[in-house]
Structure 1
Amino acid sequence: MIKITADSTCDLSPEIIKQFDISLIPLHVLIDDEDFRDGIDIEPKDIFRYVGQEGKSCKTAAVNTFEYENFFKEFSPKYDAVIHISLGSGFSSCYQNAKIASEQFDNVYVVDSQNLSTGSGHIVYEAALLAQGGVQAEEIVKHLEELVPKVDASFVINTMEYLRKGGRCSGVEAFGATLLRIKPSIEVVGGKMIVGKKYRGNFDRCIVNYVKDRLENNDDIDYSRVFITHSYCSPETVQKVREAVETYAKFDEIIETTAGCTISTHCGPNTLGILYKRKSKK
């Protein structure tokens, strides 16, 4: 048997985690001087209260090597292999720390997702499907490494205030975006976040236009599945996005998930993305 594990940042739904018996290791969320474990001691709504209402600073910190060693120690003796999918190495030292920890075990494999949220979630989900299908560990890892550059991950954010507080944009940029009602799309390219197209106006209208831009007349889409991942957007907004997705593409599976603490810390409430696989590497 093969055990699939991942960093808490993969943002898969509780149903998928339970269905495939995936085990997650939590990243750290630092609120001023307090240390919380993602999804265990703190939820995104807590972050929105701390940052949005109480004005506290909030950032995330990687899982350290010792924590990974203890995590892998729990599963290594019980399974033929453990395959761990980490938060992208361009965003955190999680991959590096997990890789170092894995060297203490002869049956632990660590895969760098080069992504975040359900961009990583695609890799975890694929690993779970392959493991359930009886594929050998080395073959699963090879398949995942080929899939990594094909994942298309992007989000639209409603406010740049959280990026400003996290030091990822200036106060002038954030103020200008608010004044002009700009909703930027954030894209993962080459394992790093970049600012893509900037939308302007009402958030729901921006998000529908974003879906159209990503999916319409795009012949490089793998239609097996798409994640709609959001940080507590309204059900009405999510429904509009689902309808737009169904209008511009015919995915076999549309999976809605809620973003965890990492995306929420950096992007704030009302962030939404569609994340799918491409046929080719870009």
Structure 2
Amino acid sequence: MKKSKTVILVDSGCDVPQSLIQKYDMKVLRLRVSYENEHYMDSVALAHDVYKRFPEEIPHTSTPVMQDYYDIIEEIKEEGYENVIGVFISSKLSSTYNTARLIFEEHPELQSFILDSKNISIGSGLLAIWAAEQVSKQIPFEEICAKLSGKVSDSKVFFYMDTLEYLRKGGRIGGVASVAGSLLKIKPIISCNEEGSYYTVEKIRGAKAGKEKLLHHVEAFCGGRPALLALMNGGAQEEAAAIKPILKKIIKQGKIVAEDQITATLAINTGPGLVGIGILVDP
């Protein structure tokens, strides 16, 4: 089969599992994780180490440096690609989209389409997976790009979180809210709004009720439509596995295309005990 002229580029915050990166020959711009005297590239493997070092050590996250963008452009050209579809996490949460857009404008020899997914984690990743599947079907570049913009509102991710503490430390919520939430055993469900910013979907008392509400919101968003689904976790593999048969039962036209641990950069801001469900309706 002739190699496609189009490559899919994502940042690591899109949480596309490595198995799908390899399947579709995607390129990945990796965010960075820094401790006081240690610096790492974002990955699932690193996330496991991050959890082990909690709560005594909480590292900082940063975006790829400029050279990372230039290096991956050279790699794309050397491999013979002519078209690039870039899918990036929300511009409200990271500068990767805007940086990529500006840098690719400097390279007219590559036909590029850079998408602000207005989402995070696998909510962004499912858009990249959908685009990669279109490429594999030899759908023309221009047609994929035209449809992809319209798919942004079809994608959503809901995260059940076991603690508010790491959102507070990451500056996402105030200290008072975090303390009060901990005392009341509040379990938040968060997502991204239409502008691409974090918002609290619901706050629930107790883990069991929180996971039930998580599934409720997923079912409501799907609305009986066909959907690609992703089941992610943050140090909560057993909890995600327990939810899987229920998810398959309530989303009758759903297809689970990704299951994985979230990468380190998201783990740092959410802490252990996270279960996330990504949805792309009408795929």
Q: Does TM-score exceed 0.5, indicating one fold? A: yes
> Secondary structure of 2:173's partner?
coil
Q: Does the residue aligned with 1:43 lie in a helix, a strand or coil? A: helix
Residue of structure 1 equivalent to 2:197: 192
Q: What is aligned with 2:38?
A: 34
Q: CA deviation at 1:224?
A: 3.0
- Give the superposition deviation at 1:33: 5.1
Which of 158, 162, 170 is residue 162 of structure 2 equivalent to?
A: 158
Alignment of 1:1-282 (within 5 A): 1=4, 2-32=6-36, 34-39=38-43, 43-52=46-55, 55-77=56-78, 78-106=80-108, 107=110, 108-190=112-194, 191-201=196-206, 203-215=207-219, 220=223, 222-235=225-238, 237-254=239-256, 255-278=258-281
Conserved 8 A contact 1:151-1:275: yes
Q: Structure 1 residue 210: deviation in Å?
A: 1.9
User: In 1, Cα distance between the equivalents of 2:115 and 2:260?
Assistant: 22
Letter in 2 for 1:132: S
* Alignment RMSD: 2.1
Structure 1 residues 73, 109: CA separation in 2 closer, same or farther (over 3 Å shift)? farther
How far apart, in 2, do the equivalents of 1:119 and 1:213 lie? 14
Seen in structure 2, the aligned counterparts of structure 1 residues 69 and 118 have a Cα distance that, compared at 3 Å, is same
Q: Is the 8 A contact 2:31 2:62 kept in 1?
A: yes
Aligned residue type for 1:192: S
Structure 2 residue runs of 5 or longer lacking an equivalent are none
Q: Which runs of 4+ in 1 moved over 4 A?
A: none
TM-score, length-normalised on structure 2? 0.89
CA distance in 2, matches of 1:169, 1:99: 30
Q: Which whole-Å deviations, capped at 9, do the CAs of 1:74-100 have from their partners, x for residues lacking one?
A: 103411212221121111111111111
Change (3 A) 1:31 1:207: same
The alignment-based identity, stated in percent, is: 25
Q: CA offset at residue 213 of structure 1?
A: 3.7
**CA spacing shift, 1:251–1:227, aligned 2, 3 Å:** farther
**Aligned partner of residue 226 in structure 2, secondary structure:** strand
Name the count of aligned residue pairs.
274
Q: Which amino acid aligns with 1:263?
A: L
Letter in 1 for 2:58: S
Contact residue 222 and residue 279 of structure 2 kept, 8 A: no
CA distance in 1 between counterparts of 2:201 and 2:254 reads 27
